[in-house]
DNA sequence: ATAAAAGTGTGATTTTTATCACATTTTTCA
DNA sequence: TGAAAAATGTGATAAAAATCACACTTTTAT
């Protein structure tokens, strides 16, 4: 439920571990290939591993009793995610689905623990990482809870701009295609509501859409709607 | 924004650091007295300290441009909270207000860092702590976002039962008084909405109220409403 | 003990969001 | 490339939640 970018060449906004840590991690991970549409792990599996995405996209989803699904997180090439809680032998409370074919580096919790135990400085680095992740989650909680569904949507669009956006003529192009339904599952709204809100924003020329890609023309308008605090980019991300 | 209970005699549900870690921490903290209603720190202050509550209650609140306030967290005697992110010299994005007169143990980020650097095993323990906190926040995000305001309220009542509840005749007594408005600020709803929802629940004899204290008579009904996943008690807390 | 302040309860109304139903557009893949 | 599947757009309606207004109750502090 936590992610970090290891690869220095992508997601420039995100926090990075040092080269030393990076190398040490690479040494204790093993590779796993996961096909698009299949699952990396399921709800209930023992949460004793970390996953580093060498290639591909993964989303963490939670199914509910009434058949709905919620997207908890979306991770990309270079991200590291998982739980660090062997001490209480916790289980995952969600499913991890590969959105594309993925190459994953798997790190056993207990191997990592030995590494951290021996290298205090690496542990401190990890600690700062989890602390940052906490701030990310906390900021999402605020954005998704306190300004209605429109606020939740707008803040999510801003996060997408930061995570997957690229400068374009007079706006920002979101390089990752997202379905209305997925946005809904992310913010806890229905597909129809998302659709209508997006239409409105398009009508006001705050957003645009071309060939299935979203464009943000007026990010300040989005910021107004969700009472954006202009958090550092490390925190304001998907 | 993160908390843990250090004192083994209270909040039995929560994760504890080992005695060794506890002792080491006590050695590097200094004491600060804070009066009820005053602030421990303000939004914008450099986030370079951790705070251990020796005595009292603290709430973390965020004010918005339009004059509203949101409660991000509430901490009690024995809790440890703060951010661990000196590396990027981050600032608090919220205010910490003492609800009662407090005695606080203050730990300087850099002192802690030295401690962790030298003792890998303490660092690993801290890492597990932050990881747990992440799960707590993540579970709150789910509860507050995905089942409407009534779901958000019910899950909050369950969390309160776990954090401040005591067994009573035929139900659970919430030993901490909370105002309707505060509940609203916690879940992102208006005081009136909270009031009406509580009235409904009282009408259905799911809740009760006596001398200003809330009683939960039918916690399973609450669980149904918020699609409770029966998370471990370490996670399902305020 | 009592007046002022803070908090609660509730009706009437509006706004937001979900639900249902179905036409239209886009994507997928055989 | 064309049929099937998936996703989008939108109207009508219902349900959830916010807003405003004000009476009533509890708490606080002198």
More confident residue, B154 or A69: B154
Q: Give the pair of three-digit tokens for residue B156.
A: 């909050």
Which among B136, B16, B19, B14 is positioned nearest to B73, based on CA atoms? B136
The gap between the terminal CA atoms of chain A, to the nearest Å, is: 12
- Listing DSSP states for B42-95 in one string gives -TTSB--EEEEEEES-EEEEEE-TTS-EEEEEEE-TTEEEE---GGGT-B-SSE
Closest nucleotide C1' to the C-alpha of B209: C8
pLDDT digits (tens, 9 = 90+) for B90-115: 788 899 999 889 999 999 988 998 99
B window 189-208, beta carbon within 8 A of A? none
DSSP category for residue A59:
E
pLDDT digits (tens, 9 = 90+) for B165-188: 999 888 999 999 999 999 999 999
Q: What is the pLDDT of residue A86?
A: 53
Nearest Cα residue in chain B from A66: B227
Closest nucleotide C1' to the C-alpha of B191: C8
* Rounded Cα gap, residues B119 and A150, in angstroms: 47
Q: What is the pLDDT of residue B171?
A: 93
Q: With pLDDT > 90 as the criterion, what percentage of chain B qualifies?
A: 57
Residues B116-138 have a mean pLDDT of 88
**3-state secondary structure (DSSP) of residue B128:** helix
Q: What is the pLDDT of residue B16?
A: 66
Burial (CB < 10 A; 0-12, 13-18, 19+), residue A193, is middle
Q: Which residues does chain A have with pLDDT short of 70?
A: 1-16, 85-89
pLDDT at B17 over 80: no
Question: Chains A and B: how many Cβ contacts under 8 Å?
Answer: 143
Q: Give the pair of three-digit tokens for residue A74.
A: 């979306």
* Rounded Cα gap, residues A204 and A217, in angstroms: 10
CA distances from B63 to A33, A79, B144 (A): 46, 33, 19
pLDDT digits (tens, 9 = 90+) for B21-47: 889 999 999 999 998 888 999 988 988
Confidence bin at B13 (pLDDT 50/70/90): very low
pLDDT at B116 over 50: yes
A window 70-109, beta carbon within 8 A of B? 70, 72, 83-88, 90, 93
- Distance C5 C1' – B193 CA (angstroms): 23
Q: How far is B237 from chain A (nearest CA, A)?
A: 15
Q: What is the pLDDT of residue B164?
A: 93
Residues B53-82 have a mean pLDDT of 87
Contacts of B141 in chain A (CB under 8 A): 137, 140-141, 144-145
pLDDT at B237 over 60: yes
pLDDT digits (tens, 9 = 90+) for B203-231: 999 999 988 899 999 999 999 999 998 99
Flag whether residue A110 sits within 8 Å of chain B, measured between CB atoms.
no
Burial (CB < 10 A; 0-12, 13-18, 19+), residue A51, is buried
Q: What is the pLDDT of residue B154?
A: 98
């Amino acid at each position: 439920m936590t992610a970090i970018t290891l690869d220095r060449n992508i997601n420039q906004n995100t926090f990075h571990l040092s080269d030393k840590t990076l190398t040490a991690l690479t040494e204790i991970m093993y590779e796993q290939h996961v096909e698009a549409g299949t699952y990396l792990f399921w709800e209930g599996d023992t949460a004793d591993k970390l996953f580093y995405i060498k290639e591909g996209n993964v989303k963490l989803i939670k199914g509910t009793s009434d058949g709905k699904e919620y997207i908890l997180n979306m991770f990309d090439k270079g991200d590291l995610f998982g739980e660090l809680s062997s001490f209480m032998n916790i289980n995952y409370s969600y499913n991890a689905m590969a959105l594309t074919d993925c190459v994953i580096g798997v790190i056993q919790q207990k191997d990592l623990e030995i590494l951290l135990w021996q290298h205090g400085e690496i542990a401190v680095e990890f600690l700062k990482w989890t602390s940052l992740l906490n701030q990310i989650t906390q900021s999402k909680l605020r954005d998704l809870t306190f300004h209605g569904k429109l606020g939740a949507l707008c803040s999510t669009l801003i996060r997408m701009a930061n995570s997957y956006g690229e400068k374009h003529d007079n706006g920002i192009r979101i390089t990752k295609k997202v379905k209305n339904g997925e946005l809904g599952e992310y913010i806890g709204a229905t597909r129809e509501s998302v659709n209508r809100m997006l239409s409105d924003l398009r009508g006001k020329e705050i957003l645009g859409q071309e060939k299935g890609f979203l464009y943000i023309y007026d990010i300040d308008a989005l910021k107004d709607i969700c009472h954006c605090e202009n958090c550092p980019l490390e925190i304001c991300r998907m």
